[in-house]
């Protein structure tokens, strides 16, 4: 048998262009080089969820952050709407509760300084009863939805916190609800004293005639101002928790904070009388010191 190297076309090929002798008739095989393989791009895989929660202490993209804000706002508005519907249905009972402070001072004013035989309010506009009911339902919806609002606020800021800081979720919401209720109760207790001061300062010759819109607006705004004001220590503790401020910084600005608290109370409260300023300013100043103490204890616990 004649070898293929010595016959036919193979003999016409120059030796320099032929395969090496050790290759012979075996097929040419290229060596496997694993480094030449293209890496798999796992980022091209389709994610399961369009928006996912970031890692602990991570950051959210701007679009995801805005969509998260929209979700929290919609849920908050839905909670306020449900609370407003409940207050609209329970309006007669709520109205009796709001009229109680006026009925207390009505007996003290006497017939010479009060209009009417009972603790009635004078309506001067046909649309006033409807607007009053809408106002009571709206503000009442905010009050009833306060636990949901606090929870939505926490859920919005939670992705930027570390795992150890997220454990404060339930204490944050629970303490916020308790403080809000305590502030509303203090306002309800102080309203008769504030009314007595405001009505009596005008002299004995003035007859008190209250309209539903003016009186109920005064009571509701006063109650919400106290409730929101009592959330002040919660804000300070939260800012210390995330590292925005420190107890030392709060101590340095203690004097300026006291002046700012009194000015803030004067803006929040609708009356602005000295009694109301004192009743709300003193607890807020105490809350300021409590927030500093909580921050100091937390730092000692972390370092210890």
Residue by residue, pLDDT tens for the chain (304 residues) are: 445 445 555 555 555 555 555 555 555 555 555 555 555 555 455 444 433 444 444 556 777 778 888 999 999 999 999 999 999 999 999 999 999 888 887 766 655 555 556 677 888 888 999 999 999 999 999 999 999 999 998 888 877 777 777 777 888 889 999 999 999 999 999 888 888 888 777 777 777 778 889 999 999 989 988 999 899 888 898 888 777 888 999 999 999 999 999 998 888 887 777 888 888 899 999 999 999 998 888 888 777 6
131 touches 213 (CB < 8 A): yes
What are 114's strand-pairing partners? 208
Inside any domain, residue 287: yes
pLDDT at residue 92, as a whole number: 93
Written as six digits, the tokens of 234 are 């919660």
Inside any domain, residue 50: no
pLDDT at residue 10, as a whole number: 54
201 touches 283 (CB < 8 A): no
Spatial CA neighbour of 293 closest among 227, 230, 240, 231: 240
Inside any domain, residue 265: yes
pLDDT at residue 158, as a whole number: 78
pLDDT at residue 178, as a whole number: 93
Inside any domain, residue 54: no
Inside any domain, residue 44: no
156 touches 68 (CB < 8 A): yes
In angstroms, rounded to a whole number, what is the distance separating the alpha carbons of residues 211 and 230?
Answer: 29
In angstroms, rounded to a whole number, what is the distance separating the alpha carbons of residues 303 and 184?
Answer: 38
Inside any domain, residue 109: yes
Identify the helix (H) or strand (E) that includes residue 245: none
How long a stretch of residues is the chain? 304
Inside any domain, residue 52: no
CA angle 138, 80, 161 (to 5 degrees): 135
How many domains, the chain? Answer: 1
Written as six digits, the tokens of 12 are 């016409």
**Is residue 283 classed exposed, middle or buried when 0-12, 13-18 and 19+ CB atoms within 10 A define those classes?**
buried
Identify the helix (H) or strand (E) that includes residue 217: helix 212-229
Inside any domain, residue 69: yes
What one-character-per-residue DSSP string does 4-63 give? Answer: GGGSGGGGGS-GGGSPPTTTTTSPP-PPP-GGGSPPP-GGGSPPSSSS-PPPTT----HH
Using DSSP's 3-state secondary structure scheme, residue 208 falls into strand
pLDDT at residue 121, as a whole number: 84
Using DSSP's 3-state secondary structure scheme, residue 114 falls into strand
Range of the structural domain that residue 147 is part of: 62-299
């Amino acid at each position: 048998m004649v070898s293929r190297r010595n016959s036919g076309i193979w003999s016409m090929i120059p030796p320099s262009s032929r395969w090496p002798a050790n290759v012979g008739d075996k097929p040419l095989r290229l060596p496997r080089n694993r480094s030449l393989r293209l890496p798999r791009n796992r980022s091209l895989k389709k994610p399961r969820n369009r928006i996912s929660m970031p890692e602990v202490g991570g950051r959210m993209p701007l679009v995801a952050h805005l969509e998260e804000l929209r979700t929290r706002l919609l849920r908050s508005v839905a909670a306020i709407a449900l609370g407003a519907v409940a207050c609209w249905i329970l309006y007669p009972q709520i109205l009796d509760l709001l009229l109680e402070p006026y009925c207390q001072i009505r007996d003290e004013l006497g017939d010479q300084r009060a209009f009417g035989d009972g603790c009635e309010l004078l309506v001067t506009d046909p649309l006033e009863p409807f607007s009053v009911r809408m106002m009571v339902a709206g503000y009442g919806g905010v009050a009833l939805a306060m636990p949901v609002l606090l929870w939505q606020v926490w859920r919005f800021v939670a992705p930027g916190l570390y795992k150890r800081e997220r454990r404060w979720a339930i204490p944050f919401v629970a303490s916020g609800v308790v403080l809000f209720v305590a502030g509303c109760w203090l306002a309800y207790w102080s309203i008769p004293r504030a009314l007595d001061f405001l009505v009596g300062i005008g002299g004995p010759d003035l007859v008190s005639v209250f309209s539903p819109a003016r009186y109920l607006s005064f009571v509701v705004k006063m109650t919400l101002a106290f409730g929101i004001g009592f959330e002040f220590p919660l804000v300070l503790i939260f800012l210390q928790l995330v590292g925005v401020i420190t107890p030392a910084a709060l101590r340095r600005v203690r004097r300026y904070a006291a002046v700012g608290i009194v000015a803030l109370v004067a803006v929040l409260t609708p009356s602005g009388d000295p009694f109301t300023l004192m009743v709300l300013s003193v607890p807020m100043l105490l809350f300021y010191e409590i927030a500093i103490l909580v921050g100091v204890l937390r730092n000692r616990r972390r370092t210890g």
